[in-house]
Structure 1
Amino acid sequence: MSDTSARDTLRDQARDNARDRDNAMSVAAISSERIEPDDNGWTRRLVLFLRVMAIISIVKGLYHWAQVTGFIGGEEEAFENQSMAWQTATIYFAVIELVAAVGLWLATPWGAVVWLTTVVSMAVIELMFPGIYGGSLTVVAFEAVMLAAYLALAWMAARERPP
C-alpha cells in the first residue's frame, strides 16, 4: 500500500505542478507584463495623420455630393447647368473621396492607394484642365504638402519596424 500511496502522491504533485505551470502561462498571456517599447511612435503618428486625412476626405466627398444634389450653390451653379467635364469630375470625386476616407480611417494599404489616386487626380485636373475647377494652385499645393507628409511619416514608420 505504501507503494500505491507514494505513486498517488507523485501523481498528485505532478498534476499540481502542471496546473501551476498552466495557470502561470495563462496569467502571463493576459497580463500586461510584456513591456511594449515606445518604438512605435512614428506608426502612431502615421495612423493619426491617416485619420485626420480621412476626416478631410469625408468633408471633401460630402462637399462634392452637396454639389451634385444641389444643397449648395444657387440656380446658376446647379449641377445640371455645369459642363459635362465638371459633372464627371464632381461625381468621380464624390465617390472616390468617401471610399478613400473609409480606407484611411481603417489605416489599410488600399486606403492609402485610393487616397493617393484622389490626390494625383485632383492635382492633374487643377493643373491640366483649369476649365473644370478653375486651376487653383492653392489646392495643388495643399495636396502636395499632404502627400509629402504622408510619405515622410510612412517612411519613418517603416524604419522603426524590423525587416
Structure 2
Amino acid sequence: MSDVSARDAARDKARDRDGAMSMAGMSSERIESDENVWTRRLVTFLRVMAVISIMKGLYHWAQVTGFIGSEEEAFENQSMAWQTATVYFAVIELVAAVGLWLATPWGAVVWLTTVVSMAVIELMFPGIYGGSLTVVALEAVMLGAYLALAWMAARERPP
C-alpha cells in the first residue's frame, strides 16, 4: 500500500509541476535572462548605426541630385574627387545600413569600410570634404563603441 500511495504522490507532484510549468509558459510576463545582454546591446547599437547610415546615405544622394546646396555648390560644379567620394558614400552607406539593420556580419564589414574610408578621406585628402577632425573623432568613437560591444558579446558565447 505504501508503494501505491508513493506512486500516486509522485504522479500528483509531477502533474502539479507540469501544470505550473505550462502556466508559466502561458503567462504574459516575459522572463528576461541576462545570458545575451551584450548581444542585445550590440544589435541595438547596430540598428542605431543603420539609421545613421541611412541618413548619411540620403544626405549624399541629396547632394548628387541637387536637393540641397546652392547652384554654386551643385554636383556638376564640384571637383572629380568630390564627385567620386560623394557617389561612393551615397551607395555604400545605404548598403551598410541594410546589413547593419539585419545585424549580418557583412553589414558590419561594409559599415567598418565606410567608417575607415571617411576617416581616411578627411585626414589624407582634406581638399575633398574639408578635413574635419570632428568627423574623424566621431567615426573613431563609433568604431570604438562597436569594437567594445562586439568583444563583450563574443565573451558571452562560449567557444
Separation (CA, whole Å) in 1 of partners of 2:110 and 2:69: 28
Separation (CA, whole Å) in 1 of partners of 2:61 and 2:105: 25
Aligned to 2:129: 133
Show CA shifts across 1:73-94 (max 9, x none): 0000000000000000000000
Separation (CA, whole Å) in 1 of partners of 2:26 and 2:117: 46
Aligned to 2:114: 118
Separation (CA, whole Å) in 2 of partners of 1:57 and 1:119: 10
Are positions 1:85 and 2:101 aligned together? no
Separation (CA, whole Å) in 2 of partners of 1:150 and 1:158: 12
Alignment of 1:65-76 (within 5 A): 65-76=61-72
1:122 partner SS: helix
Root mean square deviation, CA, Å: 1.8
Aligned to 1:61: 57
Are positions 1:50 and 2:46 aligned together? yes
Residues matched between the structures, number: 135
1:38 partner SS: coil
Separation (CA, whole Å) in 1 of partners of 2:135 and 2:70: 23
Separation (CA, whole Å) in 2 of partners of 1:95 and 1:32: 46
The CA deviation at 1:37 is 3.1
Are positions 1:146 and 2:142 aligned together? yes
Q: Please list every run of at least 4 consecutive aligned residues from structure 1 whose deviation after the TM superposition is greater than 3 angstroms.
A: none
The CA deviation at 1:32 is 7.1
Separation (CA, whole Å) in 2 of partners of 1:113 and 1:63: 21
Structure 1 pair 137–32 and aligned structure 2 pair: CA distance change class (3 A): farther
Aligned to 1:5: none
Are positions 1:108 and 2:108 aligned together? no
Aligned to 1:8: none
2:107 partner SS: helix
1:39 partner SS: coil
Separation (CA, whole Å) in 1 of partners of 2:147 and 2:79: 35
The CA deviation at 1:39 is 1.3
Identity among equivalent positions (%) equals 88
Give the alignment's TM-score, normalised by structure 1: 0.79
